[in-house]
């Protein structure tokens, strides 16, 4: 029996922006429930729900106040249970975020930890004394700006925060903290979730000696202080891998559960591989190797697949943290955006499809006065564009996201013309293409679980084979604005499946128009 986790396609839902069922302008769990049938009809294997936990929302749910509570903004625990039940009825798995690197500074654990240096949770966060001159313990820089250390007057010490100062880092070296996190995981597993997406999975443990990070030779104009360092001491410590193995042991006690880690590091692919190595760590991991790419090239795709013969990578072109692929990789061109979706769904690994990607949504334009993301405001106009990737989902020509005219982020007018309802019956739409591609991926075993090997790629023509047992599929993508031809080997019964653009097979020549793609089966 095949393992559903191998080659699965997971649809990411950002609950704040998916569907608003109670009319307050913010998406919620009842809205997710209302739209689960749409997700199931796409043909994906499961859903990844971004955070819906109790939170002050300084970082929109990634600052957790209570790991085991639903924030009232999203509904109640009964609403979450209903989502899980309905998803399972529809044949969908439910993957939820777990944020184990840090909590909110309003979390009860931190409230106790900061009281003094001798309380029961005094060592549950990363605390350190000031240097003799009163400055922070080392030179580490937070991703969201400024030093990674914040002075606390109660303890007269600094605490570590890799992101906002309202997100103190847990001391995951502490075995009591590990046990508390494993109990949190067990709580949700017992509630029926099928697995976890682990936020910044390689940030859990830092260098025990808190050594300075070495300086980095910055080329061009840096956008933030964080870029001036090689981050060798504030993340990716070997002790984190031991905790991953403990978490995997827990997951393995439940049938068919899944774990995927978000990896953020300079050598993204090597670290991604490390966290999946040995079969006793993560089931899959994804990095920002493809998420930060500014263009699709054969070299990019080939290099991404190197070394993964014995493990399952995770790949995504879009998510809630980066500009949407239709803009970043396709320049807001519909044909190129469709080709990007086609390529994503032909890759070997676990695929993450971000809400609206199946509609070809471009990055939304959010004016400064409507920005909500603290990173975007801090680094304007050079932020990473998270608000523009988080705007409400367009269900109908007039929006369909909420009955409230005022939504938490504005809806881009361009998105309204790409609404889901309008694309449903259009056979040329990105939505129709996505459904067809997902059906093909399910029906052809080689596309779901087969290996990956290059098949004569050039500088602009990407050709690779996906092979399992005696079945092979040749995937070909013309990643340029000029027509191209690929010579293909003679094969009896060779059939072409056009994916995007203009493609035809004449004898042993596959002819592809600009930004076209096809499968040879």
Residue that terminates a domain, selected from 415, 441, 467: 441
> What are the angstrom distances between the C-alpha of 145 and each of 40, 162, 281, 313?
40, 9, 31, 30
CATH (domain of 465): 2.60.40.1180
The enclosing H or E element of 110 equals: helix 108-113
Question: Which tens digits make up the pLDDT trace of 441-477?
Answer: 999 999 999 999 999 999 999 999 999 999 999 999 9
Mean pLDDT for 104-126 is 98
Q: What integer pLDDT is reported at residue 221 of this predicted model?
A: 79
**What is the count of structural domains for the chain?**
2
Does 93 share its domain with 192? yes
pLDDT class for 19, splitting at 50, 70, 90?
Answer: very high
Q: Is residue 286 part of a domain?
A: yes
Q: Are 426 and 465 found together in one domain?
A: no
Domain for residue 454, yes or no?
A: yes
* Residues forming a β-bridge with 97: 197
Same domain for 369 and 513, yes or no, is no
| 477 and 413 belong to one structural domain | no
Residue at 199 is within a domain:
yes
Within-domain flag for 128: no
149 falls within a domain: no
Q: Which pTM does this prediction carry?
A: 0.97
Residue 199 falls in the annotated catalytic set: yes
Question: By the 8 A CB rule, do 447 and 468 touch?
Answer: no
Across the range 19-46, mean pLDDT stands at: 98
Judge whether 262 counts as a catalytic residue: yes
> What would the pLDDT profile of 71-82 be if each residue is shown by its tens digit?
999 999 999 999
Which of 441, 473, 497 is a domain's end point? 441
For 265, the domain range is 9-100+185-441
What mean pLDDT, rounded, does the chain reach?
Answer: 96
pLDDT bucket at 493, cuts 50 / 70 / 90: low
Query: Could you tell me if 330 and 459 lie in one domain?
Result: no
Question: Within a domain: residue 109?
Answer: no
Is residue 197 domain-resident? yes
Residue-wise pLDDT tens digits, 292-343: 999 999 999 999 999 998 999 999 999 999 999 999 999 999 999 999 999 9
Angle at 369 between CA 365 and CA 375, to 5 degrees: 75
- In the beta sheet, which residues pair with residue 127? 159
In angstroms, the CA 63 to CA 76 distance is 19
Does residue 494 carry a pLDDT above 80?
Answer: no
What CATH number corresponds to the domain at position 420?
3.20.20.80
Q: How far apart are CA 521 and CA 288, in angstroms?
A: 31
Position 492 scores a pLDDT of 53
Which strand (E) or helix (H) includes residue 245?
A: helix 238-252
State residue 489's pLDDT score.
79
345 and 471 in one domain? no
Query: What CA–CA distance (Å, rounded) separates 242 from 42?
Result: 37
Q: Is the residue at 150 inside a domain?
A: no
Give the C-alpha distances (Å, rounded to integers) separating 505 from 488, 494, 511. 9, 9, 6
Quote the pLDDT of residue 1. Answer: 45
CA 504 – CA 488 distance, rounded (Å)? 12
Same structural domain, 457 and 358:
no
Comparing CA positions, the residue from 493, 449, 485 lying closest to residue 469 is 449
**372 lies in the same domain as 267:** yes
Q: Which of 194, 262, 274, 412 is catalytic?
A: 262
Residues 251, 396 within the same domain = yes
Among 199, 234, 274, 357, the one annotated catalytic:
199
Assess whether 210 and 346 both reside in one domain. yes
Condensed to tens digits (0 to 9), the pLDDT of residues 204-217 reads 999 999 999 999 98
What digits encode the pLDDT tens for the residues 387-429? 999 999 999 999 999 999 999 999 999 999 999 999 998 999 9
Domain boundary among 422, 441, 460: 441
Helix axes 334-344, 430-443, angle to 10 degrees: 20
**How many Cα atoms occupy the beta-carbon half-sphere of 189 within 13 Å?**
22
* Same domain flag for 495 and 420: no
* 199 and 314 share one domain: yes
Burial of 218 (0-12, 13-18, 19+ CB in 10 A): exposed
């Amino acid at each position: 029996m095949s393992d559903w986790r191998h080659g699965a396609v997971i649809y990411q839902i950002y609950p704040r922006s998916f569907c608003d069922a109670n009319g307050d302008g913010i998406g919620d769990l009842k809205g997710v429930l209302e739209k689960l049938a749409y997700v199931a009809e796409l043909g994906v294997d499961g859903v990844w729900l971004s955070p819906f936990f109790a939170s002050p929302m300084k970082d929109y749910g990634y600052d957790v106040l209570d790991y085991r509570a639903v924030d009232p903004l999203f509904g109640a625990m009964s609403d979450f249970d209903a989502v899980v039940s309905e998803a399972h009825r529809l044949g969908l798995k439910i993957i939820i975020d777990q944020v184990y690197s840090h909590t909110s500074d309003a979390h009860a654990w931190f409230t106790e930890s900061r009281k003094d240096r001798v309380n029961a949770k005094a060592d549950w966060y990363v605390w350190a004394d000031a240097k003799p001159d009163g400055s922070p313990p080392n030179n580490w820089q937070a991703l969201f700006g400024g030093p990674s250390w914040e002075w606390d007057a109660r303890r007269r010490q600094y605490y570590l925060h890799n992101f906002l100062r309202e997100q103190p880092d847990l001391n995951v070296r502490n075995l009591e903290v590990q046990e508390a996190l494993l109990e949190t995981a067990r709580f949700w597993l017992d509630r029926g979730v099928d697995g976890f997406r682990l936020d910044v999975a390689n940030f859990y443990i830092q260098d025990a000696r808190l050594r300075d990070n070495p300086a980095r030779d910055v080329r061009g104009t840096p956008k933030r202080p964080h870029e001036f360092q090689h981050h060798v001491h504030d993340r990716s410590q070997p002790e984190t891998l031991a905790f991953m193995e403990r978490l995997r042991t827990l997951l393995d006690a439940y049938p068919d559960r899944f774990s995927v880690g978000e990896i953020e590091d300079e050598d993204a692919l090597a670290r991604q591989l490390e966290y999946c190595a040995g079969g006793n760590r993560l089931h899959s991991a994804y990095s920002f190797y493809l998420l930060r790419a500014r263009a699709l090239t054969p070299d990019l795709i080939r290099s991404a697949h190197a070394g993964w013969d014995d493990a399952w990578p995770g790949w995504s072109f879009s998510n809630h943290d980066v500009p949407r692929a239709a803009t970043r990789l396709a320049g807001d061109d519909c044909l190129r955006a469709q080709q990007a979706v086609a390529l994503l769904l032909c890759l070997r690994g676990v695929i993450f499809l971000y809400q609206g990607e199946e509609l070809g949504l471009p990055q939304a334009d959010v004016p400064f006065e409507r920005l909500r993301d603290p990173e975007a405001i801090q680094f304007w106009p050079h932020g990473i564009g998270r608000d523009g990737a988080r705007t409400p989902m367009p269900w109908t020509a007039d929006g369909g996201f909420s009955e409230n005219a005022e939504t938490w982020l504005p809806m881009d007018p361009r998105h309204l013309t790409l609404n889901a309802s309008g694309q449903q019956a259009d056979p040329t739409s990105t939505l129709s293409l996505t459904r067809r591609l997902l059906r093909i991926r399910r029906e052809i075993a080689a596309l779901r679980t087969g290996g990956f090997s290059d098949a004569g790629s050039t500088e602009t023509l990407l050709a690779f084979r996906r092979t399992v047992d005696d079945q092979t599929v040749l995937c070909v993508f013309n990643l340029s604005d000029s027509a191209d031809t690929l010579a293909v080997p003679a094969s009896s019964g060779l059939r072409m499946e056009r994916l995007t653009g203009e493609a035809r097979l004449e004898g042993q020549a596959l002819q592809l128009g600009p930004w076209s793609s096809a499968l040879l089966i």
